């Protein structure tokens, strides 16, 4: 049995827990919106057509910030289509996902939905196929109180109070050839800089996110960030990172160590941003908005697209089923570990968005006219969002190592902790595919006296999933092995598991 020892030092503070770390993402893609969050005919729907069973799950998930309306969708989006009387809104073709968009859910409706969930709006503007003036128009519509043409239009449309959106994304994945209107780093950097400067002329306190690479595997990774920031550094506040992971060819060991790649990604982007800042003799720091991350069976999606390309290109449908991945225990352990990594990097990761929220590579699934349920990945996210508070503590981890084909050496056990005035929380993963791990955690520095909660997500079948037929097949269970004696927590972690322990 592998053994690991972890020491918590209350002085080893990384940064305060940033609540925006627990953000998510809603895009007009597949069934994320339609029959996901919005289904007027559903028995649980409110007067706006929103499914209240989904609202309750989003509240439980603990999402703090929701990025909207895309994603690739935003690069062909005319925001004006989505406001005003619903019966007058045009149906448009969405080239990003080859579907029809009815625009029945738009900015004002989505903002009302956010109030139900208690989440903050993070809004993306279309800099790919539009430009500065439409971005300024959207800003005026969304944020100006009243007394101007577009703010008065919002009021006339039934929303008297401004949305007061603070965080704005300047496009999406502009380095990707799949993106409508994609650009070179040089061209995008100039457009982003001009758009950002104009938006801050309207409101100097906006928080603006410039597009970084759409993945660390892009051939322009690193150079893209440098070039874009050399143009936009003075006008933006964050640079985005996007990363998706999946098991390849049965290599579970590498998949379970995916957090190593995320950490490398953050390190590289931060170093590049700081390099540009040093060159400019700037005291300003550009932080990271990791506004797309998740497990996604991307390889299977791409293969399916190739096989069915003729059928896909012949059809334009409203809200077709797309990217409805069903997640396993192993997927949930990786999601929990990725979230732990984002917490560990709270010194520079200011915001993050689990992509996406409902039906589309999502922790929440729905059936039209039927139930909503939690995927396996729901649980580590919701529990971490609930328990993580105060300050992030970087633990000292002594654990056996194993070799992965993709990421080199990885620790069998990984951990992070948070501490506030009332409690401490320790989050752990066991990446061993065959053996339980015996772990001790020295918590004397944080002054904890008892275990108040200890739950583990694991299963004898690491590929067990929650489905419509078995929505509760995989749930976190109390870990009875957790004991605290003389300031040392002892706990056994099953193979391929994620665990959270709260102490007081």
C-alpha span between 177 and 284 (Å, rounded): 31
Helix axes 223-232, 185-202, angle to 10 degrees: 40
Sign, Cα dihedral of 181, 109, 168, 223? negative
**For residue 96, what are its two tokens?**
């990003």
Residue among 89, 99, 105 nearest 34 (CA):
105
Task: Report residue 201 as tokens.
Answer: 């002329």
The DSSP annotation for 81-100 comes to GGSS-GGGPPPEEETTTTEE
> What DSSP string describes 108-134?
HHHHHHHHHHT-EEEEEE-TTTT-HHH
Could you check whether the bond before residue 145 is cis, i.e. omega within 30 degrees of 0? no
CA 376 – CA 472 distance, rounded (Å) = 9
Look-up: residue for tokens 């665990």? Answer: 499
Measured between alpha carbons, how far is 437 from 490 in angstroms, rounded to an integer? 11
3-state secondary structure of 48: coil
411: β partners: 401
What element of type H or E holds 202?
helix 185-202
Catalytic residue among 80, 173, 225, 247: 173
- The distance in angstroms from the start CA to the end CA of the chain is 29
The DSSP secondary structure of 263-301, one letter per residue, reads HHHHHHHHHHHHHHHHHTT-----EEEEEEEEE--HHHH
Distances in whole angstroms, Cα of residue 468 to Cα of each of 322, 366, 373, 471, 473: 17, 8, 8, 5, 10
Q: What one-character DSSP code corresponds to residue 357? A: S
Strands 207-210, 167-170: pairing is parallel
Q: Could you count the other beta carbons within 10 Å of the beta carbon of residue 497? A: 25
173 is catalytic: yes
Percent helix, strand, coil in the chain, to 5, is 30, 25, 40
Of 80, 120, 225, 292, which is the active-site residue?
292
Q: CB neighbours of 132 closer than 8 A, spacing ≥ 6?
A: 194, 195, 198
The catalytic residue positions are 173, 292
């Amino acid at each position: 049995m592998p053994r690991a020892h972890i020491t918590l030092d209350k002085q080893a503070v990384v940064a305060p827990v940033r609540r925006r770390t627990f953000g998510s993402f809603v895009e007009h893609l597949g069934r994320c919106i339609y029959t996901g969050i919005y289904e007027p005919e559903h028995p649980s729907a409110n007067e706006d057509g929103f499914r209240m069973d989904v609202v309750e799950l989003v509240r439980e998930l603990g999402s703090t910030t929701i990025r909207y309306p895309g994603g690739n969708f935003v690069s062909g989006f005319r925001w004006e289509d989505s406001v005003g009387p619903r019966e007058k809104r045009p149906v448009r073709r969405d080239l990003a996902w080859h579907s029809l968009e009815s625009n029945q859910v738009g900015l004002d409706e989505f903002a009302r939905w956010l109030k139900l969930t208690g989440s903050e709006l993070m809004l993306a503007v279309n800099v790919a196929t539009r430009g500065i003036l439409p971005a300024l128009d959207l800003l005026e519509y969304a944020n100006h109180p009243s007394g101007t043409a577009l703010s008065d239009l919002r009021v006339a449309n039934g929303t008297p109070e401004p949305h007061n959106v603070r965080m704005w994304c300047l496009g999406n994945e502009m380095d990707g050839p799949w993106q409508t209107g994609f650009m070179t780093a040089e061209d995008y950097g100039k457009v982003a800089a001009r758009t950002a400067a104009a938006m801050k002329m309207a409101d100097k306190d906006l928080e603006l996110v410039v597009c970084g690479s759409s993945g660390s595997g892009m051939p322009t990774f690193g150079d893209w960030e440098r070039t874009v920031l050399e143009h936009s550094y003075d006008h933006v506040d964050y640079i985005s990172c996007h990363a998706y992971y999946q098991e390849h060819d049965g290599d579970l060991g590498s998949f379970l160590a995916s957090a190593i790649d995320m950490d490398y990604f953050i390190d590289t982007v931060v170093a590049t941003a700081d390099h540009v800042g040093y060159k400019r003799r700037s005291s300003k720091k550009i932080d990271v908005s990791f506004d797309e991350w998740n497990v996604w069976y991307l390889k299977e999606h791409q293969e399916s697209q190739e096989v069915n390309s003729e059928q896909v290109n012949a059809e334009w449908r409203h809200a077709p089923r797309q990217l409805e991945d069903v997640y396993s225990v192993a997927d949930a352990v990786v999601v929990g570990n990725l979230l732990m990594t984002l917490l560990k990097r709270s010194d520079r990761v200011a915001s993050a968005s689990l992509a996406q929220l409902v039906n589309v590579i999502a922790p929440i699934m729905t059936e039209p006219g039927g139930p909503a349920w939690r995927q396996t990945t729901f649980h580590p996210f919701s529990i971490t969002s609930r328990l993580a508070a105060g300050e992030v503590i970087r633990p000292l981890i002594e654990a056996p190592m194993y070799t992965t084909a993709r990421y080199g050496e990885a620790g069998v056990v990984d951990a992070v902790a948070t501490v506030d005035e009332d409690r401490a929380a320790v989050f752990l993963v066991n990446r061993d595919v065959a053996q339980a791990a015996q772990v001790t955690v020295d918590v004397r520095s944080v002054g904890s006296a008892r275990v108040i909660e200890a739950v583990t997500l694991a299963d004898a079948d690491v590929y067990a999933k929650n489905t419509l037929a078995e929505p509760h097949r995989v749930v976190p269970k109390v870990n009875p092995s957790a004991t605290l004696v003389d300031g040392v927590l002892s706990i056994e972690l099953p193979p391929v598991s994620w665990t959270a322990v709260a102490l007081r």
